[in-house]
Structure 1
Amino acid sequence: MREQAVEDVDVLVVGGGAAGTCAAIQSAASGAGTMLVEKNGALGGTTTVAGVALPGLFHAWGRQVIAGIGWDLVCRAVDLAGARLPDFTDWRQPHYRLQVPVSAPLYAAVLDEAVLGAGVDLRLHTMVGAVESVADGWSVTLCDKEGLRTVRARRIVDCTGDADVVALAGLTRLRNPALQPGTLMVRLGGYRMEDLDVAALDEAHRRAVAAGDLLPADLSMSERPMARFLRSRGENTIHVTDVDGGTSRTRTAAEVAARRTLLRIHQFLRRQPGLESVTIDSWAVECGIRETFTIDGLARITAQDYATGRHWEDAVCNSFYPIDVHSPDGDGITIRPLEFGTVPTIPRSAMVPKGSRHMMVAGRSVSGDQEANSAYRVQASCMAMGQAAGANAALAAAAGCDITEVPVVEVHREVRALGAIVPGGTGPVDGEVSVGR
């Protein structure tokens, strides 16, 4: 193997999804030499590779509570597509109507442009193989197409979604006894709803499940599954149960299970009247994984904390989404909207693993119970967490101090300089928030 020179960076961000792209851009803007490592060939994570191209929610009760880097990137992608933003002032709509659809390929290109424009050293098709604590930082082994290389990073932001770097560093990860199912995002075509006898299709579905041709959880919903599935063209309506995306071996099993699920559904549909010509017009190359691990953080966000809008003393960003737990057996979803006026916050202490001085986590693996995690794992909240983590890591690297020694007010100042809204409602101008563009 060819020997590689050791590279030095101030901040290493691992994972280029919703949290990681914002973390890297903010870190670079805060003056840190920043490297972003991503295992896939495109940035965007769940939004692009897993096909959940519906970043949200940025608004609560008719006002904006999350802005900054992620919001700007989403708006840029919407503008490029010639699309329009939802009417965020009409907050009584179902929460899914206040998501912001983006074109995944355009969004991925926007992320490339923003990350490279910020001066970030971007490494796609690269993974972390080992992490070792050293004086004032980390020695990290990266695996790329040329082999292994060593990077010395003063601070790390783990945005892998699975807390992979945390585990490689020997720190503790936690998992729930029963994991929520995954979803393979698809969009079907080749049929018209007006040509279909949905009641007859529901009966055909019941018989297929009884015969073992379909699994009960395949179409997510137990009551009248065919109506919802067909009206949505299959989007976000497939449940892949008993999957675990936490290791390469179990993730492989999840991907195979997802495609087998799609094959079962497709074969069933093609046998039904009016669906003989059904097509799969698009599909995600990865199964969307809702949960794997969370860190054992200095603090842990509970459902009570989230649902009551607890304002943590060290809150670095807002979050907003209903508690949204998909039943582990695939039989439906429990959605609990927040009470009017509630805007939860995310504390820095839930983003720092116990036993670590120089590492932060942003995204769905932040410390919390299953119900709280089901809400703050969504993309807009991950963007806000990532931006805050990027600022915090950059400031810690510059000062040579622990992650938790950076005053939270300084983190707020850094992210507000790039348009973020911090807990308490303050954005670039105190008290001024917007409802869209």
Structure 2
Amino acid sequence: MECHDIDAVDVLVCGAGSAGFCAAVQAARAGMKTALVERYGMPGGIMTVMGNNDVALFYAHKRQVIRGIGWEFVVSLADRGFAHIPDMTKDVPHSQLGVKVNIPAAGHWMDEMLLSAGVRLYYGQPAVAVETEGRKVQAVIISTKGGLRRIRASMVIDCTGDGDICAWAGAAYECGDAESGILQPGTVRYYFQAAQVGKVRDEKTLSAFYETGELLEEDTMRHPIKTLRCQNGNNVNHISGFNGADSESKMWADIEGRRSVYRVMKALKKAETGLTVENIAPETGMRETRRILGDWYITAEEYERGISYPDGICYSFYPIDLHQDGMKEIHQIFLIDGQVPQIPLSALIVRDLDNVYVAGRCASGDRLANSAFRVKASCMAMGQAAGAAAAVAVRENGGQTRGCDLERIKAILRADGAIVP
């Protein structure tokens, strides 16, 4: 099929989730002609489309370590009454310190921030292939209603979560556990009918349905009905045994996700709880797929120790949080006072490519480290860092990821409110 050029830009960001949104805004604000490609018709990824609207964590040990564009975004929503920012200096579990955003407002405000920065948007037009020359990605092919179209770019930032752009370009990666190939389970969000939530009968129980096989334990993680109600179907199940980086496997993850929610719906109805599920996310959100190998590989030991890197470019903060299949316990390691992990720029530089940065869930690191830095606030910090680095690479370094002036990158980040090591 014939493929026509539709754009030529300085920086092309692929994926409009937490990382891609911040990368595109930062690159554009830094003066780059920037385009953003997104397979959905809405930005936000896991936060909006997949319905996990908890943005964490901006603070470490009661001190803010992530700010910048991501923080500007949540504060703007809060100022308008569409986000709740908790007191992050309280001694409470980390699960209570995330910023809860209103999903429609979050998608809208991302639109506005991107448009205000001058980013060219290609929503609902997924990347499907790349064109390379040597160690460079010359163009990304997207699928549009008018057929395949080509976007040429000096720099590319892969924020697809699955590392699609890098993988298609031949970059090395890891996917799941090196020996077994096992990946963390996914989760599918569902929503209760709002008018019925206040009438739920919490004294009811679903225990009998596990015994009969009408419910699987991982359909609810054996949470009580009160928890399902309070969470409104958010992050309360495991969809195990699938690989989101493989289209066939991902399709079955989505089918199984809907089966799981349907089992919950039937049990709630049969138990006469008064709860009705009226909506569901369009697909199962995956916690783990590809991790693109970069010039640096963040290990769990480094992350836990909070070591300083010569090229530390942003902070991350979240416990090691490796989910396991079914009802197996989550493998968690909590960071003690004084331990604040950094992300080095070299972990965002793709080892096998010269003009591609990676940011977000597919950044370079081992499984345990990745299980911590994959969360939204950290992805926002990485994305903004990659956007600033891409601007410096285009303007001052001949479109090469390596050899950029680190202080120039940091100056751009600070100008947009980021906290840098």
TM range (shorter): over 0.9
1:19-34 equivalences under 5 Å are 19-34=19-34
Q: Give me the TM-score of the superposition, normalised by structure 2.
A: 0.93
Structure 1: gaps spanning 5 or more residues: 424-437
How much has 1:229 moved relative to structure 2? Answer: 3.5
Partner of residue 166, structure 1: 166
Partner of residue 203, structure 2: 197
How much has 1:130 moved relative to structure 2? Answer: 1.9
- Number of residues paired by the alignment? 413
1:187-226 equivalences under 5 Å are 187-188=191-192, 190=196, 195-197=201-203, 201=205, 203-204=207-208, 208-221=209-222, 226=225
How much has 1:84 moved relative to structure 2? Answer: 4.3
How much has 1:284 moved relative to structure 2? Answer: 2.0
Read off the aligned partner of 2:53 and give its amino acid letter: A
Partner of residue 402, structure 1: 400
- The answer to whether the 8 Å contact 2:60/2:340 transfers is yes
- Cα distance, 1:335–1:187 mapped onto 2, change above 3 Å: farther
Task: Pick which of 261-270 and 323-332 moved more.
Answer: 323-332
How much has 1:217 moved relative to structure 2? Answer: 1.8
- The answer to whether the 8 Å contact 1:183/1:236 transfers is yes
Read off the aligned partner of 2:34 and give its amino acid letter: T
1:49 aligns with 2:49: yes
CA deviation map 1:43-67 (0-9, x unaligned): 0111100101111110111221000
How much has 1:151 moved relative to structure 2? Answer: 1.9
Query: RMSD of aligned C-alpha atoms?
Result: 2.0
Structure 2: gaps spanning 5 or more residues: none
Provide the secondary structure at the position in 1 that maps to 2:141: strand
- Cα distance, 1:420–1:231 mapped onto 2, change above 3 Å: closer
Partner of residue 433, structure 1: none
- The answer to whether the 8 Å contact 2:238/2:325 transfers is no
- Cα distance, 1:191–1:122 mapped onto 2, change above 3 Å: closer
- The answer to whether the 8 Å contact 1:55/1:99 transfers is yes
Task: Pick which of 107-116 and 210-219 moved more.
Answer: 210-219
Partner of residue 432, structure 1: none
- The answer to whether the 8 Å contact 1:320/1:375 transfers is yes
Provide the secondary structure at the position in 1 that maps to 2:219: coil
Partner of residue 325, structure 2: 328
Task: Pick which of 42-51 and 2-11 moved more.
Answer: 2-11
**Residue among 293, 296, 314 paired with 1:296:** 293
Partner of residue 260, structure 2: 261
- The answer to whether the 8 Å contact 2:206/2:267 transfers is no
How much has 1:83 moved relative to structure 2? Answer: 5.0
- Cα distance, 1:119–1:356 mapped onto 2, change above 3 Å: same
Provide the secondary structure at the position in 2 that maps to 1:139: strand
Partner of residue 10, structure 2: 10
**Residue among 176, 183, 188 paired with 1:184:** 188
Partner of residue 40, structure 2: 40
How much has 1:193 moved relative to structure 2? Answer: 8.4
Read off the aligned partner of 2:123 and give its amino acid letter: L
Read off the aligned partner of 1:203 and give its amino acid letter: S
- Cα distance, 1:289–1:83 mapped onto 2, change above 3 Å: closer
Provide the secondary structure at the position in 1 that maps to 2:332: strand
Read off the aligned partner of 2:414 and give its amino acid letter: R
1:273-312 equivalences under 5 Å are 274-275=272-273, 277-312=274-309
Q: Share of identical aligned residues, percent?
A: 40
How much has 1:303 moved relative to structure 2? Answer: 1.1
Distance 1:345 1:319 in 2: 6
How much has 1:283 moved relative to structure 2? Answer: 2.9
Q: Give me the TM-score of the superposition, normalised by structure 1.
A: 0.89
- The answer to whether the 8 Å contact 1:193/1:231 transfers is no
CA deviation map 1:225-255 (0-9, x unaligned): 5564355343311111112211332222111
Read off the aligned partner of 2:306 and give its amino acid letter: G
CA deviation map 1:120-155 (0-9, x unaligned): 111101122221223875122222111111222111
